Chains A and B, each alone.
Chain A
Amino acid sequence: MFGAETSEPYSLTASCNGWHAAALPDGLAKRSLDLAESLNLPFMELSLLLGKRQTFILAISELPELARCEAGLRDRITDALAETLLGHEADIPLKSSARKGRR
């Protein structure tokens, strides 16, 4: 067994329909990026659970489930991936031999 004891119950998200854009506190965003970089997974999806007192990470996936995102958000995510593939974003945290020394 591993893991932490959880916080007290928190309100559940009810009657949901699709995934929509949200915002994260800066600290949590930075730690998420650091985790992605340390795993050498610059393109991934983190499943977080925001409890009342703690934020849990439940799972990591290498693929975003774009089909479940609302259209505008899906386009922005896909564009970000496309721009990276096109080389528009040079500062990606890849550890491949081609990228070493460029960060």
Chain B
Amino acid sequence: MILLFGALSDSAIAYLAHRLMEAKARFFLLDPRQLGAGVDLEWEANPRSVAGHLRHDGQVMPLSGVRSAYVHLLSVPRRSDAAGQGKPAALSSLSAQWLVRSFLETTPILVCNRPSAIATNYSKTWPQQVITAHGFPVARTFVTNVPEEARESYETCGRRVIYKSLSARRSIVKRLTKSDLKRLPNVRACPTQLQEWVPGVDVRVHVMGRRLFPTVQAELGQPCIRVDADP
């Protein structure tokens, strides 16, 4: 049995569920919004096994048969979204997330990816320092809430700078233009990450275990491109 934690409206969860169905694999999709409202998760974990059960619509599924789990909680609604009207009271979004995260962190089954592992992605700057430690260069990066320093970084990088939020929230990356400079005082209330804009080819490398799936943005009709850059 495979557990999927997330919402079916999430494309990654949906694609994975579809492929597992095609493979006739047994899996259970648990949307954290259901927790407390017809779905309950109870467990005990030790270093070698997990004991407990998942209750759903009056059925009890033992967790001892679960061999792996995949989680993607980005689509879990905010606390206010979880409030139903006249329905069984679901756990608040925060409570549901804590419940799922603590289960995934303690259970000894294969978990892709454990909350503690992905926690590093809640910082935009920390991974860059890890990347640097592994010998990969990163573009020059400035983090500041001082407008003058933001302006200085803009000039230092030859006026080729992109900016994005410093928080873990996804933000739209934009090129800093001359017309944006008048808004620089706004960084006083919002520490911002500015990064040297590097012209080149964007490559997304999907890592799945020991398998790599490099991808590039390409025009239709040119599905396979050889990347010959020297690392």
Do these two chains interact?
Answer: yes
Given contacts A47-B202, A50-B229, A61-B121, contact A42 B112 (CB under 8 A): yes
Complex interface residues of chain B between 209 and 231 (CB less than 8 A to chain A): 209-220, 222-231
Main DSSP-derived SS at the A contact region: mixed
Closest to A61 in B: B121
Total contacts A to B, CB within 8 angstroms? Answer: 292
Contact B219 A19 (CB under 8 A): no
Closest to B125 in A: A2
Number of B residues with CB within 8 Å of any CB on chain A: 82
What mask results when residues 111 to 140 of chain B are scored 1 for a CB within 8 Å of chain A, else 0? 111100110110011011111101111111
Contact B139 A48 (CB under 8 A): no
- A6: chain B residues at CB < 8 Å are 139-140, 196, 198
Complex interface residues of chain A between 1 and 42 (CB less than 8 A to chain B): 1-7, 9-13, 15-25, 27-29, 31-36, 38-42
Contact B226 A41 (CB under 8 A): no
Distance in angstroms between the alpha carbons of A44 and B69 in the assembled complex: 15
Contact of B218 among A20, A66, A67 (CB under 8 A): A20
Contact of A25 among B114, B219, B225, B231 (CB under 8 A): B231
A-B contact pairs, 10 of them (CB 8 A): A3-B140, A18-B217, A20-B224, A22-B226, A22-B227, A32-B205, A35-B131, A42-B210, A77-B208, A81-B112
